[in-house]
Amino acid sequence: MPQSEADTALSAMLRPRSVAVIGASEDASRIGGRPIAAMLERGFQGAILPVNPKRDRVQGLPAFASVAELPETPDVAIIAVPPALAEPALRDLGARGTRAAILFTAGYAEMGAAGAEAQARLLGIAREHGMRLLGPNSLGLLNAANGFYGTFTSSLERGYPTPGPIGIASQSGAYGMHLFSMARDWGLGLSCSITTGNEADLTVGDFIAWMAEDPQTEVIAAYSEGIRDGTRFLAAVELARRNRKPVVMMKVGRSALGRAAAQSHTASLAGDDAVTDAVLAEHGVVRARTTDELLDIARLATRRIYPVGNTLGVLTVSGGAGVLVSDAAEAVGLPMPPMPEAAQAALRADLPFCAPQNPVDCTAQVLNDLSLVSRFGEAMLGEGGYRSALLFFTHAGGAPSITPRLREQLRALRGRYPDRLLVLSALADPPQLRQFEEDGFTVFADPSRAVVAIHAMGRFGDAFADAPPPVLPEVPALPLPATTPSEAEAKRLLAAAGIATAPERVCADAGAAAEAAQALGFPVVMKILSPDILHKSEIGGVLLNVADAAAAREGFALLMRRAAEAAPQARLEGVLVAKQLSGGVECILGINRDPVFGPVAVFGLGGIFVEVLRDVALRRCPFGEAEAEAMIRSIRGAPLLLGARGRPPADIAALAQMLSRLSVLAHRAGPGLAAIDLNPVFAMPAGEGAFAADAVIEIAEHAS
Amino acid sequence: MPQSEADTALSAMLRPRSVAVIGASEDASRIGGRPIAAMLERGFQGAILPVNPKRDRVQGLPAFASVAELPETPDVAIIAVPPALAEPALRDLGARGTRAAILFTAGYAEMGAAGAEAQARLLGIAREHGMRLLGPNSLGLLNAANGFYGTFTSSLERGYPTPGPIGIASQSGAYGMHLFSMARDWGLGLSCSITTGNEADLTVGDFIAWMAEDPQTEVIAAYSEGIRDGTRFLAAVELARRNRKPVVMMKVGRSALGRAAAQSHTASLAGDDAVTDAVLAEHGVVRARTTDELLDIARLATRRIYPVGNTLGVLTVSGGAGVLVSDAAEAVGLPMPPMPEAAQAALRADLPFCAPQNPVDCTAQVLNDLSLVSRFGEAMLGEGGYRSALLFFTHAGGAPSITPRLREQLRALRGRYPDRLLVLSALADPPQLRQFEEDGFTVFADPSRAVVAIHAMGRFGDAFADAPPPVLPEVPALPLPATTPSEAEAKRLLAAAGIATAPERVCADAGAAAEAAQALGFPVVMKILSPDILHKSEIGGVLLNVADAAAAREGFALLMRRAAEAAPQARLEGVLVAKQLSGGVECILGINRDPVFGPVAVFGLGGIFVEVLRDVALRRCPFGEAEAEAMIRSIRGAPLLLGARGRPPADIAALAQMLSRLSVLAHRAGPGLAAIDLNPVFAMPAGEGAFAADAVIEIAEHAS
């Protein structure tokens, strides 16, 4: 469906000129009554059109017996009737020309197979009439700015939100409204809050895209259990990134990997949650671990200061807090470089027993001489050049004997450095907190929470910075065979894409094997070759350290015998004789098809690193060599490739090239490719290349 | 100093009958004025005796010109005068018989060498008179129950705490008072709050010990940058454990390891922070990562429900929140076992579309039928038997249309299961929150924070449970040589303690070497033997895979030559010829002397596991085989010992025995032992033992 049509429908849902409420109730505590009561209370300016065959008036408004009798075609309809009535209502609305419906009605896909069928029928009706659906089984949505409350959440009993820049999109209704309510309780300004329920049609991603273009929304907070359409979702977060709107997201749960993907070795190495993690990071979405963290990040993001190359300077009245903040910054990976030497000397001259490095401890002396705040702050932002500063003033921030003078100092600092992210950790009463906030300082009681939020702003900043587009290697399209190819064929296909394999020959008889071994140089590896035997070592189909021609001759016979015994039906194409590589570092490179995000590349070291330690890096395909190298360097075992323990550094450039080529290959191959498994790949010493010693290409069973 | 004397002094500091304020000020905003103002305001019932040579009265109280003129000997004195006056004041107080002093005065060890000397003089005066000191450079302490405010913190400008069960002891003044202020802002009840400053005398540990016996304190929250006296600290937390008082602690910073300890290989593997981590866990202290977490745990702990063998049942109105909570529980390692099958069937019969496993999702239907709360809750606590339950009711907990009926249901559940830890995740206004709290439910807005706190309660429960004392192996005392012994001597000493080494012989000439190799069986390992060469492989002093007698003969000459070239001064005792073990898993066992906690055992796998991945387990010595086995199983690479990748399982029992013996040996050896390094140790297949192939024993350079 074209973007513009979705846009129109979503705008109709969030900024309608008229809304019909199917199942409108006089009782403001019922699901058909709550939206009307809320809209009346919040002064919604559009037309509210209650539909109820039993009443002339609902909550003081004229009511209509049916959709057909409505005096105008509503922009959006809220459907708050049982399933049996929802279907005809939707049909009537479609016929009437309504293009958007919000379905509170439950009892669909969440209730098993019959419900899923009913849901499919709803979707069919909607498609037929070019209508877009929110839900079913949705708690609805709200727009704080225009007072449109298409929701029956009881959370409104405790108050309405202040209009503001944060938009919330949540798959879960109850949890989405929990988020909304916490945000309201914190006093955060909200643009809209949407819960997508069963997502028969519209998803969290669609609303992220809408909010990315919505002038009222500056910061997007999202919650999802499972991303339904990877492509749409990624387009949405990319749109947000282009528009410099940060997306902070809670993505919960780890669903089992698709069955097909699990058939590959590497597939079982990383659950789809690790893929989600990698994909969100790649697209500049910050993943929050807790509800507080999500709202902390959204709150700080409303400052719209997103440092590029973030660094943290800490000014503190407490050495203890300085240590605590340093621990927290290191834990998230936020750099805290030291102050320049000259600036340190100047601070020491100003206050002999200060700690001027970073954290800069201006000691309790600051309470006697508040002008230290500007002098020290100036040194840190001017000479230290920190992109972000955390100022720990604890209860001094709230003590009436200190606060007014402190505020003066801080305002001056804020004025001189408008582009820096300035955060206070202080304890104060709400009116004082509001003053600091108005002055441009976001205040956190817990300094560790401040650090996590500051770090997130830097991640947004880096994501928004104009980075050169990735340089993808030129890789010819893989002519994908109809069925899973043999090892030799797989290697031939990969070689055509520039992926180097160990020198090897396919041998049809023992004599040829001996000759090939002689030509390649001893020792050699010998492997049975059959498109029907994927995991050769499990049947004893691999011989290592074959040392001379006689052994190669015997090896041929042995492999053929083992294969015939273990897999009598298998087509045997002979034996592959390959030079046995040594002196390299064993790696694993692979491709798995994620059901949401498509082909994903996996990199890890061989053996225990992958199998015991699950030490792998993941990235959605395709990507360039720079990204590949970053993946390689990100694993815990990377020092082994970089020259730890007296080894020569491995040829990382060749490895990165191979990984990048593999990713482009997989991307171009389309859904017919289920998996690629290069295991082992030998990363030779720098300058000597990287070679795949084994290769498996798996074709999807039901490629579309 | 005997415990009772410290007790008396600490009681004098926190429950004095009389307090002198040296440097008393009329101005309630000055450091000599704040304590008096606070005590007057809070109705402190003891005598307040201002000392000020310039005034007759201070803040309405009769003032005295000097300590000598005081009408009675004060139980405690607050010293709020500059350093030059602090010393004579302390002397006068000592002469007068005062046994406890609180030193606000700064300008001591925190200010460099001269300050440290002045601090030592203060301590000398105190010792001379049998006085105990808090500080210097302390923000002081307070006792909320009796209104004793021996502190000048400006945080009191925003209010006084409610008396209650939480005691705070913090080394950092400003951060300690930050903690105190946050606790007060949260409405938590406090017994006392102490900041120990420079800890010239009394430490955080001393106050933990005092609070462990204080009837007003039920929960202890502590903050420390560096633990000054490991023995006293551990005695304190053990006292708290015996008295079933949970200790939650923030320990920040990572100081560099002592120079001596860093000389050993294994010493550099784990900073002292990892030692602290292990020691705190061993003694049942829960380490908090953030300020919120520290206060969350303290707050929940005031329920005094500490589950043994904690399990979590989750009852939720939101499937989304259920997934989120499951993620959080898995992240901290809190088990969420499923409901029994029969109970699941019964819940399904009650509410067909519930999710009855755990999390138990009673869906929004509960809002229509609140009796589901008792039925589902009853099933979970009765049949599910969960020790803890988290009930996610989000805004339903605060919606006026629901809350009163929900509260009724919850109270009934609370009454039936008084021993269970019941936690709500809900959003409500303060009066409603107070009602839930009064009903016995602790309420968290963020469900993830609730999970972390619930998990901590289980850790306290397990720590408080009567565990059998560890069974330590009988190990003869190590007759510690005066200087670092050679490898052969080290192995002999270890063998006497029952620590097995690979069969080996010391050879004085090439002929003996060939003969020994023949007798031990090939291949053998040969190593140069000298007390002056600790790290043999660095000079090429180790030969592996020596395959026959001729090679052994040549090897002897080669090793002697290399040693003579690399270390001409070294005493050469010959060559060690040892059977080369194979088929085992290479491990590293070591002992390092932590400057705070004494000998600490380290266990890890050899090679990359220790050197690249820093994958080690630590434990303070001594400990039994069960604890050793737990250490071995706790490392990430443990699967390699348990039979991963087709290996035979290693002899974990023999490894655990060796590790436990080593720990007892190190404990008995005293401070003269700097380090032991068994690297590698071969863990052979189960039943075949574990053998140290190399051993280094380092003697402390300046053993006392």
- What tens digit of pLDDT does each residue of B440-450 get? 999 999 999 99
Predicted pLDDT of residue B5: 62
Both tokens assigned to B148 = 């004793």
Q: Which whole-number Å values give the CA distances from B647 to A325, A421, A537, A543, B585, in the listed order?
A: 45, 54, 15, 19, 9
CATH superfamily for domain A503-579: ATP-grasp fold, A domain (3.30.1490.20)
Q: Using an 8 Å CB-CB cutoff, list chain B residues near A448.
A: 289-292
Number of other residues whose CB lies within 10 A of the CB of residue B127: 14
> Is B100 within 8 Å of B148 (Cβ atoms)?
no
DSSP lists the bridge partners of residue A194 as A141, A169
Both tokens assigned to A186 = 């914190």
Q: Please tell me the total number of residues recorded for chain B in this structure.
A: 704
Is A146 within 8 Å of chain B by CB?
no
Q: Is B349 exposed, middle or buried, given 0-12, 13-18 or 19+ CB atoms closer than 10 A?
A: exposed
- Can you name the CATH fold of A309-464? Rossmann fold (3.40.50)
What would the CATH number be for the domain defined by B303-464?
3.40.50.261
Q: Are A398 and B611 a contacting pair at CB < 8 A?
A: no
The region that residue B17 occupies, defined by phi over 0 for left and psi between -120 and 50 for alpha, beta otherwise, is alpha
d(CA B50, CA B507): 80
Res B259 pLDDT > 70:
no
Predicted pLDDT of residue B6: 65
d(CA B303, CA B340): 28
Residues 6+ apart with CB under 8 A from B255: B226, B272
Closest by alpha carbon to A379, among A406, A417, A353, A325? A417
Q: Using an 8 Å CB-CB cutoff, list chain A residues near B612.
A: 636-637, 639-640, 644-645
Q: Using an 8 Å CB-CB cutoff, list chain A residues near B323.
A: 225, 252-253
> Is B191 within 8 Å of B143 (Cβ atoms)?
yes
Burial annotation B368-399 (CB, 10 A radius, 16+ → b, else e): eebebbbbbbbbbbeebebbbbbbbbbbbbbb
Q: What are phi and psi of A224, to 5 degrees?
A: -150, 145
d(CA A58, CA B274): 67
d(CA B700, CA B599): 12
Q: What CATH class has A585-699?
A: alpha beta
Collapse the DSSP code of A689 into the 3-class scheme (helix H, G, I; strand E, B; otherwise coil) and give the result: coil
d(CA B155, CA B160): 9
Q: Using an 8 Å CB-CB cutoff, list chain A residues near B168.
A: none
Is A157 within 8 Å of chain B by CB?
yes
Predicted pLDDT of residue A4: 61
- What is the chain B residue with the closest CA to A402? B154
Is B613 within 8 Å of chain A by CB?
yes
Q: Which residues of chain A have pLDDT under 50?
A: 1-3, 255-271, 703-704
Q: How confident is the model at residue B301 (pLDDT cuts 50, 70, 90)?
A: very high
Q: What are phi and psi of A337, to 5 degrees?
A: -65, 155
d(CA B574, CA B507): 6
CA angle A496, A501, A503 (to 5 degrees): 110
Q: Using an 8 Å CB-CB cutoff, list chain A residues near B254.
A: 327
Chain A: give the shortest CA distance to residue B131, in Å: 27
> Is B246 within 8 Å of B305 (Cβ atoms)?
no
Q: Are B292 and A639 a contacting pair at CB < 8 A?
A: no
DSSP lists the bridge partners of residue B195 as B140, B170
Q: What percent of chain B has pLDDT over 70?
A: 96
> Is A118 within 8 Å of A83 (Cβ atoms)?
yes
Predicted pLDDT of residue A332: 92
Give CATH 3.40.50.720 domain extents, chain B. 1-138
Both tokens assigned to A391 = 């100022």
Both tokens assigned to A497 = 């894409």
Q: How many CA atoms, within 13 angstroms, populate the side-chain half-sphere of residue B633? A: 12
User: End-to-end alpha-carbon separation of chain A, Å?
Assistant: 20
Q: Are A154 and B399 a contacting pair at CB < 8 A?
A: yes
Predicted pLDDT of residue B118: 96
Predicted pLDDT of residue B363: 83
Cβ under 8 Å to A: B residues 175-194: 175-178, 181-182, 185
Give CATH 3.30.1490.20 domain extents, chain B. 503-579
Predicted pLDDT of residue B264: 31
- What is the chain A residue with the closest CA to B639? A612
Res B103 pLDDT > 60:
yes
d(CA A652, CA A629): 7
Find the mean pLDDT for residues B309-335.
91
Both tokens assigned to A323 = 């240590």
Give CATH 3.40.50.261 domain extents, chain A. 309-464
Q: Using an 8 Å CB-CB cutoff, list chain B residues near A29.
A: 401
Both tokens assigned to B131 = 């006085």
Is B165 within 8 Å of chain A by CB?
no
Q: Are B174 and A321 a contacting pair at CB < 8 A?
A: yes
d(CA B641, CA B686): 10
User: End-to-end alpha-carbon separation of chain B, Å?
Assistant: 20
Is A688 within 8 Å of chain B by CB?
no
- What is the chain B residue with the closest CA to A176? B320
Strand locations in B206-359, DSSP E?
Answer: 219-224, 247-251, 286-287, 312-316
d(CA A339, CA A422): 17
Residues 6+ apart with CB under 8 A from B417: B381
- Which residue type occupies B276? T
Q: Are B636 and A613 a contacting pair at CB < 8 A?
A: yes
Distance of CA B463 to the CA centre of its chain: 13
Both tokens assigned to B600 = 């600490």
> Is B155 within 8 Å of A394 (Cβ atoms)?
yes
Q: Which whole-number Å values give the CA distances from B269 to A386, B225, B591, B662, in the listed order?
A: 33, 21, 11, 18
Query: Beta B542-546 vs B524-529: how paired, if at all?
Result: antiparallel
Q: Are A320 and B111 a contacting pair at CB < 8 A?
A: no
Is A321 within 8 Å of chain B by CB?
yes
Q: Using an 8 Å CB-CB cutoff, list chain A residues near B158.
A: 395, 398-399, 427-429
Strand locations in B34-97, DSSP E?
Answer: 47-51, 57-58, 61-62, 76-79
Is B170 within 8 Å of chain A by CB?
yes
Query: Beta B286-287 vs B247-251: how paired, if at all?
Result: parallel
d(CA B88, CA A410): 41
Closest by alpha carbon to A294, among A217, A224, A211? A224
Q: Are A637 and B110 a contacting pair at CB < 8 A?
A: no
Q: How confident is the model at residue B704 (pLDDT cuts 50, 70, 90)?
A: very low
d(CA A317, CA A363): 5
> Is A553 within 8 Å of A571 (Cβ atoms)?
no
DSSP state of A50: E
- What is the chain B residue with the closest CA to A153? B395
Dihedral sign computed on CA atoms, order B227, B230, B231, B236: positive
What would the CATH number be for the domain defined by A3-300?
3.40.50.720
Q: Are B153 and A612 a contacting pair at CB < 8 A?
A: no
- Can you name the CATH fold of B1-138? Rossmann fold (3.40.50)
ipTM score of complex: 0.90
Q: Give the position of tokens 């492999």.
A: A559
Q: Using an 8 Å CB-CB cutoff, list chain B residues near A112.
A: 353
Is A319 within 8 Å of chain B by CB?
yes
